[in-house]
Amino acid sequence: MANRPLDILNNALDTPVIVRLKGAREFRGELKGYDIHMNLVLDNAEELREGEIVNKFVSVVIRGDNVVYVSP
């Protein structure tokens, strides 16, 4: 049986991921949780712009409708 998108997110829990958002923003951090709307929770997150770290966060919630892709 093929993996469904949420199965892949479930397998990526507690591992580092890169999340690309609309507007060319990216976050890198440890995936701690998600829901069916693809709202994501990242711990030890870094906001990246053009490959450079611009902000660091202990924890960040990313709204699912802004997500372009999640890369484990």
User: What is the mean pLDDT of each successive set of 10 residues along the chain, which is 72 residues long?
Assistant: 76 95 94 94 94 94 95 88
pTM of the predicted structure, to 2 decimals: 0.88
Model pLDDT, residue 20: 95
Domains and CATH numbers, the chain: 5-71 (2.30.30.100)
pLDDT of residue 2: 54
Question: ∠33-26-10 over CA atoms, to 5°?
Answer: 25
- How many CB atoms are located within 10 Å of the residue 45 CB? 24
Sign of CA dihedral 58, 63, 64, 66: negative
pLDDT the model gives residue 6: 81
Number of residues that this document lists for the chain: 72
**Torsion on CA atoms 35, 56, 54, 13, rounded to nearest 10:** -30
Q: What pLDDT is stored for residue 4 in this prediction?
A: 77
CA dist., res. 1 & res. 70, Å (int): 22
